[in-house]
Amino acid sequence: MENVMKALAISCFVVLTGAPLAAQDATVEQAMDALAQKYADAWKAADAAGCASIYSDDADLIDFMGTSAKGKAAIQESITQTLATFAGSSIQIVRTGIHPVSADVAVSDGTWEVTGAKAAPEGSPTRGFYTVVVAKQGDAWQVVSGRTKVAPAAN
């Protein structure tokens, strides 16, 4: 019975998170969703350090403006500025795909949308796409490269 319950739990996870998964991919997808949730929770709390914690120390981030931040400290600084722009907001992150590169590296894509900003400058993009490269560092998955973009129509 216990095994049946476990199987059901895994099936439910697969249904909730999208495409059917190989056993190895399930771990990557679970990790990706956990990272996204951690980021969203930290964003809601205006916690730039919490947002940056999903990145590896040597990660890099290129945002939709084309601005590059190299290293976790620079990424945290970038996020601090973004959070100030979108004060009081929440971010919704929806994973749309994941493409394992190896057993411990994967590329994940999705969409992001910021809602509830109190005083974002007019014309600030509030939705777009993201791509992250995640790699397993020890037992933990971390983002080693993050890229955000907005659709050209929003440019």
Partner 1 sequence: MKRIAFFAGALALAGCQPAAPPPEETTETAPMTDEDMIRARTDEFEQAVSSADSKAIGALFIEDGDLVDQAGMMHHGRMAIVERYQKLFEGPYKGTQANLEISSVRFVRPEIAVIDGTYELTGMKSAEGQDLPAVKGMFTNVSVKQNGQWMLHCSRPMLPMKAPGT
Residue 147 near partner 1 by CB under 8 A: yes
Residue 12 burial class via C-beta count within 10 angstroms: exposed 0-12, middle 13-18, buried 19 and up: exposed
The contacts of residue 149 (CB under 8 Å, 6+ apart) are 64, 128, 129, 130, 131
Residue 113 near partner 1 by CB under 8 A: no
Q: How far apart are CA 120 and CA 125, in angstroms?
A: 9
Q: In Å, how far from its chain's centre is CA 52?
A: 11
Residue 20 near partner 1 by CB under 8 A: no
Q: How far is the CB of 95 from partner 1 (least distance, A)?
A: 12
Q: How far apart are CA 101 and CA 105, in angstroms?
A: 5
Residue selected from 105, 113, 120, 126 as contacting partner 1 according to rule CB under 8 A: 105
Q: How far is the CB of 155 from partner 1 (least distance, A)?
A: 6
Residue selected from 21, 62, 93, 120 as contacting partner 1 according to rule CB under 8 A: 62
Closer to partner 1 by Cβ: residue 35 or 42: 35
Q: How far is the CB of 73 from partner 1 (least distance, A)?
A: 17
